[in-house]
Structure formats: C-alpha cells, structure tokens
Amino acid sequence: MNDPFEDAGDYSRTEPLRLSVPEAASGRRLDQVLAELLPQHSRNRLQGWVKDGCVLVDSEVVTEPKRKVLGGETLLVSEPDDAREAIDQPEDIPLDIVYEDETLLVINKPAGLVVHPGSGNWSGTLMNAVLHHVPGIEQIPRAGIVHRLDKDTSGLMVVAKTLEAQTDLIRQLQARSVKRVYLALANGVMKKDGGVDSPIGRHPTQRIKMAVVPESRGGKPALTWFRILENFPHCTFIECTLETGRTHQIRVHLASINHPLVGDPVYGKKHPQLPAFPRQALHATRLGLVHPVSGLKMQWEVPMPQDMRDLLDALRYG
C-alpha cells in the first residue's frame, strides 16, 4: 500500500511532505502544481517556499517557481520554521466533544471554525484547539486530524490521538469503509433519490474552487449518494452519503446537477424566494468507523445546529 499520509494529503512535522506530480500536469508551472496539491496554502506562500529552497524536485533543489514540470516527479516540501510555529500553537478554544477515549476524539464542529491553520487563518482553528486539549499530540501529523470539514460546514469529525490510530483511520478512509452522512438543503425541487459519480479536481482557472474535472486532467474519482427527506416549493431537504472524501465534494456534485446548496457562497446563487442563509446549508450528522484498537464498529450522530433547524422551520411554517 502507498504511504497513507501522501494519499490523504497529510504531512509530518519531522519529515518533508512527499508529493507526486500528476502525469496530467505535464508542462505546467511548479508553483501552480504545488497550489493544487497543497490547497491549504496560498500560491504566494508556496512561491516563497520554492525561492527559499524548501522544495526538491526528484531530489534536486529548485528555486524558480516558474519551472515547468514533466509529470510523474516526486516533490519533497519542507515547511519553513515560521509556518510550523504558527501551526503548532495550542489555544484554549472550547470543543463540543461527542466521544473520547485514549485513542479517539470525536468532535461536533460548529460552523465558522476553520479546521487547519492556513493563509489568513493561522490561529483560532480546530487544530489549535486540539493541540491544547490533547498534550503531546503535536508529535502526530496534523495533530491527529485525518479528514476535514469546510469552515462553514458543521458536524462530526474524528481525531486520532496516536500515530497508529491515525494510520488506521486513513486506511479506512482509503478503503471507503468510514460512513459519513450529511444533512443538506439543496436549491430546486429534486424528484427522486440518486447519486453523482463524477471526478473532482481543482478548477482550471479559479484556484479557490473545485470542479468536476476528467481524470485525464487530474480529477479524482468521487461518488455522492443523496436521498430526499422533504420537498419544499423551491428547495429540497436531503441526506447525502459520501463514498469518497474530495474537497467540497457534496457542494460541487450538487452544483453540477443544478441543485447547489442553499446559502453556498461559492457554488450557489441567491434565490429570491428562499430565506436568506449566511452559509452553505450542510451538516455532517452521522459518522461511523471501526475503532482502531478494539475493532468494534462505532457510530455517532448529532442533530443539526440551530441555524439549520430555524431555516427548516421557516420553510415549513413560513
């Protein structure tokens, strides 16, 4: 099996991050490729790392961000000390803990909380909170975080408190055995249950966006199932189940079938006949996995936050 941290887009604080340049990226600039492989960092920041000699291409130090890649190269990226110091600061931020033992920490993340430190959000993140709550977890890549939720998506996340547990959970994610179920409100009236099986990759011209992209152009397989829970005149309350975990997967897939999430500022649009909602109406309600130590199947469920409940009430009762 390939290195699980490479496949999961993770990194280690003691070893350089190892990345593979997709064959489809042949002829593109090194900084463009890095920005796609490391979306948690700004392109300007990555250009600075290249100029500072922090990036090796097939074991060769490259200091020119415009350098063209051939496809298939191995990149080794060493984060500068200042970036690590910014990431590694514990902060006393309250956590809504659903479950905790010596191996796992399951959290109900509120909307508005950024998961990983990055450009524009170097503090006040879930990672900073976890570093404070679990002393010593800074020795584990990304403080044990194995998957993410968008800043304005609420709901369940799992954190591994040991390296062995993190590796096991990443392999479960790769094997698609982790159950992740979301509640969402989608624009338009959906008439039947279904799914979207379309590869997702970085948008070709808008770096902050993902898009349905052919695998030949760097898209990765992505599959989302959806089930109708309740219909309204201009939107639909649905349950979504992820088979894969691509960035913005539900948001991109629903937008691709002309049913973007209500309130989505990136992939959606305002509907004059729907109540205003300040974020994408998406909540990770259920999480199921196999405990890395006991081998027992475990599942947790949390209700929608108050803002989504209020939105549903407004739709039901006017």
Residues with a catalytic annotation lie at 150
**Which of 212, 236, 239 shows the shortest CA–CA distance to 226?**
239
Angle at 291 between CA 288 and CA 296, to 5 degrees: 85
Strands 179-187 and 282-290: antiparallel
Three-class SS of 238-299: EEEEECCCCCCHHHHHHHHCCCCECCCCCCCCCCCCCCCCCCCCEEEEEEEEECCCCCCEEE
**Which of 73, 75, 53, 78 shows the shortest CA–CA distance to 63?**
53
Q: Strand (E) positions, 119-178?
A: 154-160
**Cα torsion through 81, 83, 86, 90, rounded to 10:** -80
Say how many CA atoms lie within 13 Å of 109 toward its Cβ: 31
Q: Which two tokens stand for residue 18?
A: 């190892």
In 3-state terms, what secondary structure has residue 311?
A: helix
